[in-house]
Amino acid sequence: MARRSKVTINDIARHVGMTNMTVSRAFQDPDKVKPETREKILASARELGYVPNAFASHLRSRKNRLIGLVTASVDNPFYSEVIKAISRAAEQHDYTIMLIDTDGSPEREEVAIETLLSYQVAGVILSPVSDDAAYQPAYLDRLRAAKLPVVMLDRILDVEDFSRVVLDNRLAGRLVGEALVKESIRQVLVLTGPRGSRITQHRLSGLKEAYDSAGVPLMLEQRSGDYTLQPAYRDMADFLRQSRAPEAVFGFNQLITLGAMRALHDAHVSRDDVLVAGIDRLPYADIFDVSVPCAVHDTYRAGHEAFHLLFEQIKDPTVAGREVVISASLMH
């Protein structure tokens, strides 16, 4: 079956017997076209199946209402709430989101930035694939050269010239640590993100601070993953095969905690025997009467703040970069 070619302004002009300029004006500047002429053109466009090229329209008007949103893990429930907040805030200001999921790949992240630059987006909200201090992607210089407003979210690169919205990760680790101390927990298996991740390091520091402040000794074993479910499941299962179940397991995000819980379930380890704690709210846990002490952040606010930092820069390119810190609270 032959592929149908796209309908163009020329096709509509021939169909209605008018000039290309008149047809184009009906779409771009409708107030300058007689109502009956405009309606005839629009009717023809519907009949022929014409779809306006929004990108071309932007290039003509030099006014873009498109914002790029680059995230490393759309399947992470944390980012689902963040994306929802950004999308709603953007809609209120008549902007559209172009969402790109890099799936944790530096190569895909590079392509994502190049794509957004080619679309001449008004700005970019970026949650990079890594927050290791050694990660310095080549696209940083291109973003700077383009003078494009950029806001980093959650994971941040080790640069000072972009605004950012970050979580209070040290506080989150400390809150969970305090909860474990209250439960008289001394032995903790900690399932984390990459060892080089500053998020991992800050959450681990907060945990240790809680025990140091309480004067309680802590036997800690760390297994490093990548903030996804499967490595956490594997590490938890391996630990259970090699030694006795720990007094407590601390997952450094939702997916890690869920992976650990699944491994415990599959190994027939009762929740009464191992205390599970985590960072980030476990979605729908209350439906199954599962109580897990968690340090949670207002993810919706994180997304909302990210958009408004970006919007601030779009409106005034001279505004200084800022940092917004989202606090943490403990819930059971």
Q: Give the separation between CA 100 and CA 113, rounded to whole angstroms.
A: 9
The whole-number pLDDT of residue 30 equals 78
Q: Per-residue confidence at 271, pLDDT binned at 50, 70, 90?
A: confident
How much is the pTM?
0.80
Section 195-208 average pLDDT:
96
Containing 277, the helix (H) or strand (E) segment is: strand 275-279
Q: Per-residue confidence at 53, pLDDT binned at 50, 70, 90?
A: low
pLDDT in tens, 67-126: 999 998 777 888 888 999 999 999 999 999 999 999 889 999 999 999 999 888 999 999
The whole-number pLDDT of residue 32 equals 84
Residue 45 near residue 68 (C-beta atoms within 8 A): no
Strand, helix or coil for residue 253: coil
Domains and CATH numbers, the chain: 1-47 (1.10.260.40), 65-167+299-326 (3.40.50.2300), 169-297 (3.40.50.2300)
Q: Give the separation between CA 82 and CA 78, rounded to whole angstroms.
A: 7
